[in-house]
Amino acid sequence: MTLAPPLLYRSAALVAVNKPSGLAVHRGQSRDPVHALQLVRDAVGAYVYPVHRLDRATSGVLLFALSADAARSVGAAFEAGRVEKRYLALVRGNPPDHVLVDHPLSQDDDKPARDARTGIVTLARYGRYALVEAIPQTGRTHQIRRHLKHLSCPIIGDVRYGKGEHNRFFRTEFALHRLALHATRLTLTDPATGEPATIEAPLPDELAQTLAALGERAGAPTPS
């Protein structure tokens, strides 16, 4: 039996959980028999509306609305850029200390590229690897993964945009069998209260342990 993801936040309008890597948000993302939407629906005893995307391989803060009105309100906030999203990613390469990646991205092959911007801040360096915080200002498909590839700093464990030899190294050396991308924080106005809400998701054990082991090897402290 698959357990519901840990609850991070609940109000009259919203519910947020800490989604594990490998769990699809809803049936449209995969043919898996279990999805986050049904697990959260059953856990809270109410229908829930997905209001944003997390890739199946990405872990972290996943938000649902508890009514159609709340879903429309939050959806409009996402569209207008009034929701702040922050992610941590472990990457190969030497990213800048701080950079705004302003690089248009296409949603699929037959449509023109659309404006896409992601702020990148480097938090720690471990020789050939680095820990970065990514702050997307737009919401394109695979935006963070594609923008980090554009910087020549692909995310560890990314089988689509990354490097196989580095992914294999982390599987062998650190038993990391997932995409090293985690949604750490979501800040928005809760439609139920009209007040700002900041929702945070702790790093899963497999990522925290990998960062700690990298820090020991490189003699670099891991940021809290």
Q: Which residues are catalytic?
A: 55
Q: What's the rounded Cα separation, in Å, for the pair 68 and 70?
A: 5
By C-alpha distance, which of 124, 165, 162, 166 is closest to 146? 162
DSSP state letters, 150-169: HTT-PBTT-TTTS-HHHHHH
Ranges of H-type helices in the chain: 36-44, 68-79, 143-150, 164-174, 205-218
| CA 149 remoteness from chain centre | 16
For residue 201, which phi and psi values (nearest 5 degrees)? -120, 120
Six token digits for residue 58: 């990405």
